[in-house]
Amino acid sequence: MKVCDINPYIRFANSNHTFLYPKHVCARDHRLFFLQEGHAHVIVDGRTYSISPGTLMLWKAGTDYCFEADQQLRLIVINFDYSQSCSGQVAAMSVLPADAFTSDLVLESVVFEDAELFNTPLVLDNMQRFEAPLLQIASDYITKMVYFGEYTSAILKQTLIDLLRCSLTRNVRSSKAIQSIIQYIHNHYACEITNQTIAKE
């Protein structure tokens, strides 16, 4: 699949979802979470992340995950497909215990050719800029105004593309900074170079 082919089908969306998943689970469709309140750890495919308000999480169907928290978490939750191919499966789908989940339960297997970022689980902090469009999706899904399916699909596609662009911008900035440091060291190798001088430059 390519990014231009994304045409999301939103199966469930909620902006005030409170829950704890004390056990490892998997879902049949893709999951997007935005943490609004609370602090926790999320274990995704065996890797543990600390999450706090503003953390955005995205992973594909069949991903093993578990939230560990001492308190209830408040999240925006969106269950979706990247295409409309399974839109006949309209009911919200409960998660299943990871040890009982098999790959044939996955509704939609997707591999992106031009967006490697979406092929692995994402746990990104400081993503507050995405809260407003995700809240809009949840609001329209709940009220089900005319054309809510098309409207929320369009917002989610734009959000996913914005997420890709944000990630690319971060990577470009990081790459430019690294290249600048290397160039500075190359130009001043005969001088005494400290972390402070590099930071100042």
Residues 14/142, Cβ–Cβ less than 8 Å: yes
Tokens (6 digits) for 114? 């031009």
Q: Mean pLDDT, consecutive 10-residue segments, the chain of 201 residues? A: 97 84 90 96 96 97 94 93 94 90 96 95 95 97 96 98 83 53 73 78 75
Question: Which residue spans within the chain are E strands per DSSP?
Answer: 9-19, 25-26, 30-37, 40-44, 47-51, 56-59, 65-68, 73-81, 96-97, 122-124
Strand-pair partners of 17? 75
Predicted pLDDT at 7: 98
Each residue's pLDDT tens digit, 81-101: 999 999 998 888 889 999 999
Predicted pLDDT at 169: 67
CA distance 19 to 134: 18
Question: Please, what's the largest Cα pairwise distance for the chain?
Answer: 69
